[in-house]
Amino acid sequence: MKRILPIAVMALFLYACQITERVYLSETGSVKYESEIDFTEMMSFIYTPEKIDSMKLTGEFPIDTIVSMADSDQFKKPNAEESSPAEKKFMQSLDKTNMRLVMNENEGRILVITEEKDAKSFNAYLSNIDKSLKEYEKEDKEGASQFSEAAYMNILNLSYDGKTFERKSLSKVVDLSNLETDSAAFSSKDMMNMFSYRLEYHFPKKVKSVDLEGAMISADGKTVIADVEYVDILENPEKYNFKVKFE
């Protein structure tokens, strides 16, 4: 399994895929955050039918597994160098986040999942991750870039008081002008334009209004959905901050 995860993660940056930032807010105020990367359409590029048949014989396919993001060894290649203290501290800060990998003949998905008892606790948890990532960047900018520029590392601040909900992005603006030479995650801005990004927020009560341009409200009135440009959300994260009012 330690060999399969890195292959799947690298595939995200080689082909077009759908990225969804999904939040579930319960009646009690608990928060479930998911960052889903759907690479189903690219499965045939990742594994040939012959390779899949071979993996089935060894019990490595289909795959549906959950690992802790804090267990950094799961993401290392064989014979990789020992993690630095800053990298270890950063990975440990992800102790409440799990990664689920699903790969079969019909779908390929990676979900990064975080759950907290309320918005305040969720914000504090992500703030600690952000702090640890910045320390990691000071020691190893290239190594940290695989996380800071990844789709699942959007640092958010959420607020909910029963009458309103607000999403604020605290992620730094990504400078794409030097992307080809400085980024370990992507090879070009044109390739990033192949990614589609969706905001999907589920609420326990009906939405009265949302101030995000282009956002749609589901038929049951409890979900806000917006399809945005991935490059734009990296370059202009504050543009996608929004406020929801409930009936």
pLDDT tens string 149-207:
665 567 899 999 999 999 999 887 777 665 554 444 444 566 666 778 999 999 999 99
User: How far is it, in rounded angstroms, from Cα 110 to Cα 199?
Assistant: 16
Strand partners, 68: 98
**In this predicted structure, what is the pLDDT of residue 8?**
45
User: How far is it, in rounded angstroms, from Cα 23 to Cα 60?
Assistant: 31
Contact by Cβ (8 Å): 122, 116 = yes
Nearest to 135 by CA among 148, 123, 124: 148
Contact by Cβ (8 Å): 83, 72 = yes
pLDDT in tens, the chain (247 residues): 444 444 444 444 445 578 999 999 999 999 999 999 888 887 877 788 898 899 899 988 998 989 888 875 555 555 556 778 888 888 899 999 999 999 898 898 989 999 999 999 999 999 999 999 889 889 888 777 777 666 556 789 999 999 999 999 988 777 766 555 444 444 456 666 677 899 999 999 999 999 999 999 999 999 999 999 888 888 899 999 999 999 9
| 188 C-beta neighbours (distance < 10 Å), count | 12
Q: The whole model's pTM is what?
A: 0.84
Average pLDDT of the chain is 83
Which residue carries 């999904």 as its tokens? 22
What separation, in Å, do the N-terminal and C-terminal C-alpha atoms of the chain show?
47
Cα distances (angstroms) measured from residue 5 to each of 2, 76, 105, 217 = 6, 9, 17, 35
- Helix H or strand E segment including 47: none
User: H helices within 140-166, ranges in order?
Assistant: 141-148
Task: Name the DSSP letter for residue 182.
Answer: H
E-strand ranges in 39-147 read: 63-68, 97-103, 108-116
Q: 18-25 and 196-202: which strand pairing?
A: parallel
Residue 222's identity, in one-letter code, is K
